[in-house]
Structure formats: C-alpha cells, structure tokens
Amino acid sequence: MSTTATPAPAKRTNLRTPDVMAAVQTQVESHYRSEVVERIRATGGTLTVDGVTVHLAKQFGFCYGVERAIDLAYAARKVFADKRVFILGEIIHNPEVNRQIADMGVVNILDSKGEANVDDIGPEDVVIVPAFGTSVTTLARLKDRGVQIVDTTCGDVMSVWKRVKQNAAEDMTSIIHGKASHEETRATASRAVHESKGHYLVVLSLDDTDFVCNYIRKGGDREAFLKRFAGAYSPGFDPDKHLRRVGVANQTTMMRGETEEVQKRIMAAVRDRDGETGVKENYRFFDTICGATQERQDALKDMLQKKMDLLLVIGGYNSSNTSHLAEMGEAVLPTYFIRNAGKLESPARITHFKQHEHSETTTDNWLPASPATIGITAGASCPNNLIEDTILRIFDLCGIPRERVLQ
C-alpha cells in the first residue's frame, strides 16, 4: 500500500536583510509617501491658504503594524520573484493598498466565504498571512502542504491570542468584543478553543452585552440565546454551561471606552451571581486594545475641540478602526467617511459611506464657502498619498490651485 509523504516544513527565509529592505523602502515610499502631509505635520498639523484651513489630526494613517505588513509583502514579492506568491485575503483594509499588492502579482486565495483554497498550492509556493492573522485550521493546512509562509500578523493581535489561549487552558469561555465576521476576530476565536478546551462568544454591542449579562444573572431561553448569537459562538457552546466562567477579550480595533464598558458590565453580572469571591474565580479581563487605534481616537478627540465646519475621515469602508473614527466625528459635527479624493465630486456633491446602511450615499452642498475650516483624519490602514490627494482636492474645489498650496 502506498502512502503520500507529508512535505517537509519550508526552510525559513529572512526577508528583512538590509539590501532587500532598502529596495522595499524605496518602492513603498514611491507608492505611499506624501510631502504635503509631512509639511503639514511638521508645522503643527494646520494649513491655511486663502481663507481655507485644513486641520490634520495629530495621529493618523499607517501604524507600525500596517507598515510592517506592507513591507513584508513587498519583500516577499522581491525575494521570491521566481515563485508564485499568494495571500490570505486583504493585507490590510484599504482597497488602494490591496490593489497595489495584487498588481505585483500576489494572488488572493480566500473564497467568498473567507475560506482558504489551498488545494493547488505546494512546497514551491509562498503564502502571505495578512496583518489580521488567520485561523489555527488554515495555518495548519498551509504547514501540512509545506508552503513558505510569510506571517505579517500584528503583534497586538497576537497578544490577544495569548490571552484567549490562557482562558481556554483554564476551561473558560472567551467573550470577544468585536465583529464576528471580521478576519481578526475569526482568527482570535479559533485560538479561544485550544486543545479541545474553552469556548467563545462574540458580542458586538452593549445591547448584546446586556443580553448576555441578563443570562448570566438569571438564565433564560437557551434557544433564543443561540438564535440571537448564531454564527458568533464556538461549536457546542451552551450558555447554561459555558457562561459560568468567562474572560473578556476584544478585537484590537474596537473603541476602548466601549470595550471597557463591556468588561465592567460582564464583571458586574458575574459578581451579582457569584459574589465578590466568585468573581475572582470566574471572571478575567485583559487590556488588549491596539495602542495605535487608541492614539488615533485620542488625537481625533483632541481635534474635535477645535471649531470646524466638517470632518473628513479617509479609509477603507471595511476598516474597523476607521469606522470608529467616523462614529466619533458624527457625534459632534458633519462627518463624511470617504475612501479617497475621488469621492469629493464637486463643491455641491460628495459621495460617502453610511455605516449603519452599509452603503454609499451622496450629500449635496457639503462644502461651505470660504472662509472654511475642515478637519481630516485617517484610519491606521490609510496611506499618506491618499490623504494628500484629499487635501489638494479640497483646495482645488475652493478654487485654490495645487501650485498655491505647495508654494
């Protein structure tokens, strides 16, 4: 009887050699750098020309984790120039960056359901794991096929994995504050079930959290619970059994204040049920909000203290951290969530994303007459060149040419 041997693990290749990274840096800067953004940042974050003022948030755009992921993807294409290079979905949540990666010949192998199609890849191929990470199952399948894996998973995401694996080791359910369909949350959830121990439940909102808290305190209709959270819990999850001991984790790009409120409410529910001694035994939480996400939220909070006519938030519509910046702006002043400068169609028309409707819409007469003050921020996956394009487009729509802005 013949057997098929498992391919040997791919030999690790150091992509971050000085010569490779120097070439990568030149290429990345040519794609994403902005002299305009650098100038505004160097002069305190404000640019005024002929009565039009643009305020740029103190922290915006690419974070370290995103820069690292992009650098490694570019390096992989350069080092493995003679090989097929694939990627598990989007490197980050920005369509312009993902198009650039695709244009370099990196092929996405995730299907419409978010599953990796690895049947036709083997030891001679390279697969990039994006910044969000991937599931334990997908990673195991790649290793079984002996492919060269280039893992760009963000360190903050891996910190969350460490926490949920610890919960699993203690046979605790991880309640994950996040979006159940988001790549990062799916990857985290896969690690909350470790070595046949542990379970997970994903909560998106404070309404979800309150529903869970009521069940923790009083129990309830098990089938109604499972129906409400369909697709957001681990196989075999039973709220009557698996809410006895819980640990709260989160998708790293959620709003810190909301995650902290999730933590407090669940802790209070466990305390009400088990008393002070019981809460120490049956409840855990860890602060795992991404530092860059928090910095961008804090910077926008500061900028919103200024008197501004409107706010533009630039980034991919499926970017979680960008969507939260838009939510913050919407609570204070007219805010438009745009993908790029092309959405600023004219002074009388802007196309922007309505989060709660999950679709683009248009608004008329959005741009005030001069003198006007406009705030700009961008998510952690938005490159500076897209921010520059937006700034120059604003001035252009106000009748101020590029040459006047750059002088």
Q: Name the least confident of 285-294, 362-371, 373-382.
A: 285-294
Q: Name the least confident of 195-204, 295-304, 388-397.
A: 195-204
pLDDT average, residue stretch 93-104: 94
Residue 1 confidence (pLDDT) above 50: no
CA distance 58 to 84: 40
Residue 9 confidence (pLDDT) above 90: no
By the 10 Å C-beta count (0-12 exposed, 13-18 middle, 19+ buried), 7 is classed as middle
Query: Catalytic site residue 184?
Result: yes
Residue 68 confidence (pLDDT) above 90: yes
Identify the band that residue 289 occupies on the pLDDT scale cut at 50, 70 and 90. Answer: confident
Strand segments (E) across 74-131: 85-87, 106-108, 126-129
pLDDT average, residue stretch 268-296: 91
pLDDT of res. 287? 74
pLDDT tens across 31-51, in order?
A: 999 999 999 999 899 999 999
pLDDT of res. 14? 81
Identify the band that residue 354 occupies on the pLDDT scale cut at 50, 70 and 90. Answer: very high
pLDDT of res. 13? 78
Task: Point out the catalytic residue in the list 90, 184, 258, 388.
Answer: 184
Cβ atoms of residues 310 and 335 within 8 Å: yes
Identify the structural domains of the chain with CATH numbers, from first to last.
Answer: 35-62+292-406 (3.40.1010.20), 64-153 (3.40.50.11270), 156-289 (3.40.1010.20)
92: left (phi over 0), alpha (psi -120 to 50) or beta: beta
Q: What is the pTM of this model?
A: 0.89
Query: Comparing C-alpha atoms, which of 139, 202, 210 is closest to residue 173?
Result: 202
pLDDT average, residue stretch 131-136: 94
SS3 assignment, position 383: coil
Compute the Cα dihedral for 387, 389, 392, 398 and give only its sign: negative
pLDDT of res. 2? 43
Residue 262 one-letter amino acid: V
Element (H, E) at 155: helix 155-169
